[in-house]
Each structure stands twice: as structure tokens, then as C-alpha cells.
Structure 1
Amino acid sequence: MRIIVYGTLRRKQGNSHWMTNGQWLGDHLIDGYELFSLGHYPGVVEGTGQVYCEVYRIDASTLGELDALRSKGGEYKRQLLQTPYGSAWLYVYQRSVAGRQRIESGDWLKRDAVSE
């Protein structure tokens, strides 16, 4: 199975250790979504933008661990999307993003960049 990651699970980010047993397949831009800062981590919601992601092949055990991490309290829900690497799961944020900062670039790693 495959998973799409867009924030702290990406390479060299704070939670990238969760991907240690995964196989990085490549980078990908997903259309029709927007990225928001939720503080120390991001959330993706359906919208009009693009979000920069990484796609990994993972095993069922890793998916179960990520489900426990991401689905706790109903904060995220998994959604299956098509990627150049095959279908992959994306964790979509389920709560309101009202008042949250939209990351216009769609890239969590560029969230502090100033738009000119």
C-alpha cells in the first residue's frame, strides 16, 4: 500500500521516523487541496490549490500506526487518491480551518517563506 505525506512525516521533518520502514517512491503535487498550518503540523482540506507531497510504499503495520496517530479524536480521515505511483492514502483534515493560516505555496517546508 502507499501513503501520501505532506508535512511532518516528510523527509528530514520531525515525524519522518514513522517512514523509516517505508520506501520513498517520489514527489507529487496533488490538485484540488489546500494546506493549512495547525501550529506545529499541517492539515490538508479539499479546495482550489495544489499541495506538494511525498509518496511512500508502506506495510500494514505502519499504516495502522499512522492511523492511530492521525485519526485520534477524529482530526483526520484517510482518502484514497490516484498518484503516478498508484493509488495512495491521504490524511485529510476534518475540522474547521477558519482562522488558520493557509500555506499559499502548498509546501510545508516553505511555510515560513514570505510572499512578495
Structure 2
Amino acid sequence: MRIIVYGSLRRKQGNSHWMTNAQWLGDYQVEGYELYNLGHYPGVIPGEGKIEGEVYRIDAMTLGELDALRTKGGEYKRQLVPTPYGSAWMYIYQRSVAGRQHIPSGNWLDRVDHA
């Protein structure tokens, strides 16, 4: 199975250690979504933009660990999106983004951290 990650799970980001056993397949821009800075990690919601992501092949155990990290408390839900590498799971943010910083480029690396 495949997953597309767009924030703290990307290479050289704070939670990239969760992807240690994953096989990187390539980068991909997903259209129809907007990226928001939620603090230490991002959220993606359906919208007018595109987001920068990395597609990985993962096993069921890794997906289970990511589900435990991302879907607890209903913060995210998984949705299949098409990629050039085949359909991939992507985590969609389920809460309000009111007052959160929108990242127009769709690239988590372009965020502005507020210390």
C-alpha cells in the first residue's frame, strides 16, 4: 500500500522517523487541497490549491502506527487519492482551520513558524 505525506512525516522533518521502514517512491503535487500550519504539524483540507507531498510504499504495521498517531480523537481521517505511483492514503484534517496560517504554496517547508 502507499501513503502520501505532506508535513512532519516528510524527509528531514520532525516526525520523519515514523517513515524509517517506508520505501520512497517520489514527490507529487496533489490538486484540490489547501495546507494549513497547525503549530508543529500541518493539516490539509479540500480546497482550491495543491499540496506538495512525498509518496511512500508502506506495510500494514506502519499504516497502523500512523493511524494511531493521526486519527486518534478524530483529528484526521484517511482518504485515497490518485498518484502516478497508484492510489495512496492521505490524512485529511477534520477540524476547523479558522485562525490558522494558510500556506498558499502548499509546501510545508514554506511555513512561517511563530515563536
**Stretches of structure 1 lacking an aligned partner (at least 5 in a row):** none
CA positional deviation for 1:21: 0.1
Q: Aligned residue for 2:58?
A: 58
Q: 1:105–1:111: 8 Å Cα contact kept in structure 2?
A: no
Distance in structure 2 (CA, Å) of the matches to 1:85 and 1:17? 22
Identity over the aligned pairs, expressed in percent?
76
2:49 maps to 1:49: yes
- TM-score normalized with structure 1 length: 0.95
Per the alignment, residue 99 of structure 1 pairs with 99
Q: State the alpha-carbon separation in 2 of the partners of residues 22 and 60 from structure 1.
A: 11
Large movers: runs of 4+ above 2 Å? none
Amino acid at match of 1:69: L
CA-CA distance at 1:111 after TM superposition: 1.1
The corresponding residue for 1:28 is 28
Q: Residue 83 of structure 1 aligns to a residue in which SS?
A: coil
Deviations 1:89-114 (A, max 9, x none): 0000000111111001100011139x
Amino acid at match of 1:68: A
Residue in 1 that maps onto 2:4: 4
Q: Partner of 2:109 in structure 1?
A: 109
What one-letter code is carried by the residue in structure 1 that aligns with 2:102? R
Q: Find the residue that maps to 2:51 and give its secondary structure.
A: strand
Letter in 2 for 1:60: A
Q: Distance in 1 between matches of 2:13 and 2:98?
A: 26
Aligned-residue CA RMSD (Å)? 1.0
Taking the aligned partners of 1:47 and 1:67, their CA distance within structure 2 comes to: 23
Q: Which runs of 5+ in 2 are unaligned?
A: none
Residue aligned with 1:45, SS: strand
- Check conservation: 1:30, 1:52, Cα contact below 8 A: yes
